[in-house]
Structure 1
Amino acid sequence: MVQCSRVVKVGFIVNPIAGMGGRVGLKGTDGEAYKTALERGAEPVSPRRAVEFLNHVSSKCFEIYSAPGIMGADEVSESVHRDRLAMIVGSTRKGASTTREDTVRIAGEMKRLVDILVFVGGDGTARDIHEAVDGELPVLGVPSGVKMYSSVFAVNPRAAAELLVRFINGETVIEEREVVDVDEHAFRLDRVSLRIYGYVKTPVYHGLLQSSKSVYAGMDEELNKEAIAEYIVETMEHGTPYILGPGSTVKAVCSKLGVSCTLLGVDVVLNGGVVVKDAWEKHLLEILDTYGTAKLVVTPIGGQGFLFGRGNQQLSPRVLSLIGRSNVIVVATESKIRQLKELLIDTGDPAVDKMLEGYYKVVVGYGRYRVVKAVSYV
């Protein structure tokens, strides 16, 4: 029988719609985007990520104070820790969709009851938790959104589970970490408007938390992107579709080709022309079915190092498994790659994560490379 020196009270809140817009190209699920996501056939992401997190928590020295129904209690009941549920906190309107007001209210009730609050969602959910908790207790994010630029998130659900165990065992330090979000309306219009909304206390243990997103600018940066783009265009294979991931480093390829692409979406070019603009999973699967193969050009998120799983969920596990690791071309400017010790992968499918691991020759200039290792936390 496990002997516990103390039993940690864990608050648990799930945003059930977080991340649904990713695979269908909506770059978020705020407001009306949720309805559009449903129309495009999007499926829930957070409940699965929540259960994955719970099932990997190896400690028994905790009890769960959960939000009701699909906001937490349902996921707890599906997990191996269903017997850890000590209390359901708060309520939601019967038969109604959950709202951010539910998150804020329930988190506010929890902060008087628990030792740490774990939430499953994205940057918008992190903002709601920050508003409710106001620095009064530690907060840990299980990543399940689309962007997740805040530094309160673990690398993936399994890393979040280990981090919670480390917290329970008294092995973490508490730091103030940034809550960052973008204007989703501007984001869908290809404009990045980042803002720091505040800080929350977060348990930290080496290698388990992600960093905040960094933005790089300047004339040297733009010249570096142009050199990378020129090299990619000159080495493109005729008759092969090229899937271009989000980000200005990748989309410099479109400028070099003289075609119009999205900055923050996924586009497909073939023989110098655009065949799909702002593609989502469905379109990418159709391209792969039609042509049998494709090259994928991606760049890691600055500061964080995520290659897959942040802001490019259109590149779903199914799409990535069909493309294959050998057809992935990674590009990054010198200033971006110098700040990254490794590249990170969190597709939502551990088998695909493992397939994509390994060393990549990252294109950092015209015909110039740096070899960087890509890892996932399993």
Structure 2
Amino acid sequence: MNRFHIGLVVNPLAGLGGSVALKGSDGADTAALAQQLGAEAKAPQRAAQALEQLLNDAAQIKISTGAGLLGEQSCQLAGLQCEVVYQGADPSTATDSKELARRLIEDAKVDLLVFAGGDGTARDIHGICPAEQPVLGIPAGVKIHSGVYAVSPRAAGKVMAQMVRGELTTVTHADVMDIDETAFRQGTVRAKRFGELLVPAELRYVQAVKMGGRESDELVLADIAADFIESMEDDVLYIMGSGSTVAAIMEDLQLPNTLLGVDVVKNGKLFAQDVTAKQLEQWIIKEQQAAVIVVTVIGGQGHLFGRGNQQLSSKLLAHLGKDAIRVVASKRKLQHLDGRPLLVDTGDHQVDDALSGVIRVTTGYHDEVFMQIAAP
């Protein structure tokens, strides 16, 4: 029996900058700084979460990958056997990801190339991948604008399992997007399309390309801001997530705002700006300060957590719970989801499951709608 051949590429540097507020990890210097600040590699664990969905189909698959953090460790964590076809440098570089992918495509001739990373990794794969090669991304980066990634690691695993079982055969071309990280760290989104990759056409599990641009309806944003500010309580830390809807609240409060970072407000004043996951955990978990998390919806995708706001760690979310989350978004942004649920991808499936279900979304002044949260 011919086994379904999966090629696995894990970029161990992906996502390192998220929890320490570096807005990405492109470049060796940034990755090194993130590690100095205490960031830990999450990509191998996220890849393992995807691979765990294949345990029931282990006899029908063959996995080829790189040594250690490049993929072998993820297979071991998931309890799956693999063939190591490449030994990379220590520490790993972007060259390793591209060379491993090239060998998996050209030499191993895999049926599906799976890679864990962010938009930078997708660009690297696009640079060496033939147009006819099916691929699938496991989201592990800080910024994920590309449409080649599943909505979560477990969702990526479900797509792979469907392909292994012959339940999913349709493929489609999806955009590879990336942004200028230097501009991103200064609060400017400058996205660019770099091409397409061939991905499985399972729209429940593969994310849409992120919608760019700021919310244009200033009156709606003003109403949302007014409603939120009216509800603010004394001596509570308000953890203000990224995005233009939250920025409108900060503007109404006349406080400086990190558009693509996380700020903290207490008693109407800026408590801290552009904070890290460790800082938030110190104040809220160790010092037991009361807190509310304020987030908006990523346009076109629907993510609340796990895309550009890794400072809001699964540990923090588990501590605070769903009742401490305040979601703000315009009805137009929600309508663009075309009936799809809001999404969470914290890196901890137990936390994701705990956040699932119905949540209220503030859409105007004293105006709310109910939305479903899912963890595919």
Residue 75, structure 1, aligned to residue 74, structure 2? yes
Letter in 2 for 1:344: L
Residue 280, structure 1, aligned to residue 276, structure 2? yes
Residue 257, structure 1, aligned to residue 241, structure 2? no
Partner of 1:336: 333
Bigger mean CA deviation after superposition, 357-366 or 104-113: 104-113
Q: Please give the secondary structure, in 2, of the residue aligned with 1:212.
A: coil
Alpha-carbon separation, structure 2, partners of 1:7 and 1:291: 52
Residue 35, structure 1, aligned to residue 32, structure 2? yes
In the TM superposition, residue 284 of structure 1 has moved relative to its aligned partner by 0.9
The runs of 5 or more residues in structure 1 that have no matched partner are: none
Q: Please give the secondary structure, in 2, of the residue aligned with 1:246.
A: coil
Alpha-carbon separation, structure 1, partners of 2:52 and 2:315: 24
Structure 1's 78 and 233: CA in aligned 2 closer, same or farther, altered over 3 A? closer
The aligned runs of 1:180-199 (5 Å cut-off) are: 180-199=177-196
TM-score (norm 1): 0.93
Partner of 2:308: 311
Alpha-carbon separation, structure 1, partners of 2:77 and 2:167: 28
In the TM superposition, residue 218 of structure 1 has moved relative to its aligned partner by 6.4
The question of whether the paired residues in 1 share the 8 Å contact of 2:236 and 2:289 is answered with no
In the TM superposition, residue 292 of structure 1 has moved relative to its aligned partner by 2.7
Bigger mean CA deviation after superposition, 37-46 or 55-64: 55-64
Residue 267, structure 1, aligned to residue 263, structure 2? yes
The runs of 5 or more residues in structure 2 that have no matched partner are: none
The question of whether the paired residues in 2 share the 8 Å contact of 1:216 and 1:336 is answered with no
Structure 1's 63 and 218: CA in aligned 2 closer, same or farther, altered over 3 A? closer
Residue 16, structure 1, aligned to residue 12, structure 2? yes
Divergent runs of 4+, >6 A: none
Residue 108, structure 1, aligned to residue 105, structure 2? no
Letter in 1 for 2:40: E
Q: Please give the secondary structure, in 1, of the residue aligned with 2:273.
A: strand
The question of whether the paired residues in 1 share the 8 Å contact of 2:237 and 2:291 is answered with yes
The aligned runs of 1:349-360 (5 Å cut-off) are: 349-360=348-359
Spell out, residue by residue over 1:262-298, the C-alpha distance to the aligned partner (whole angstroms, 9 max, x if none). 0010000011110110011111123214453111110
Alpha-carbon separation, structure 1, partners of 2:53 and 2:214: 40
Bigger mean CA deviation after superposition, 110-119 or 49-58: 49-58
Partner of 1:97: 91
Spell out, residue by residue over 1:325-367, the C-alpha distance to the aligned partner (whole angstroms, 9 max, x if none). 1111100012111112210011111121122112111111111
- Choose the corresponding residue for 2:202, options 185, 201, 205: 205
In the TM superposition, residue 206 of structure 1 has moved relative to its aligned partner by 4.1
Aligned residues: 367
Q: Please give the secondary structure, in 1, of the residue aligned with 2:116.
A: strand
The question of whether the paired residues in 2 share the 8 Å contact of 1:276 and 1:283 is answered with no
Partner of 1:123: 119
Alpha-carbon separation, structure 1, partners of 2:319 and 2:306: 16
Letter in 2 for 1:240: V
The question of whether the paired residues in 1 share the 8 Å contact of 2:45 and 2:77 is answered with no
The question of whether the paired residues in 2 share the 8 Å contact of 1:354 and 1:376 is answered with yes
In the TM superposition, residue 169 of structure 1 has moved relative to its aligned partner by 2.4
Structure 1's 241 and 74: CA in aligned 2 closer, same or farther, altered over 3 A? closer
Task: Among all aligned residue pairs of Structure 1 and Structure 2, give the percentage whose two residues are the same amino acid.
Answer: 39
Letter in 2 for 1:136: E
Partner of 1:370: 369
In the TM superposition, residue 216 of structure 1 has moved relative to its aligned partner by 4.6
Letter in 2 for 1:213: K
Structure 1's 278 and 166: CA in aligned 2 closer, same or farther, altered over 3 A? same
In the TM superposition, residue 244 of structure 1 has moved relative to its aligned partner by 0.3
Letter in 1 for 2:317: L
Partner of 2:134: 138
Bigger mean CA deviation after superposition, 317-326 or 303-312: 317-326
Alpha-carbon separation, structure 2, partners of 1:62 and 1:218: 45
Partner of 1:49: 46
Alpha-carbon separation, structure 1, partners of 2:316 and 2:96: 35
Alpha-carbon separation, structure 1, partners of 2:290 and 2:214: 34
Alpha-carbon separation, structure 2, partners of 1:373 and 1:45: 27
TM-score (norm 2): 0.93
Q: Please give the secondary structure, in 2, of the residue aligned with 1:56.
A: helix
Alpha-carbon separation, structure 2, partners of 1:108 and 1:197: 19
The question of whether the paired residues in 1 share the 8 Å contact of 2:118 and 2:139 is answered with yes
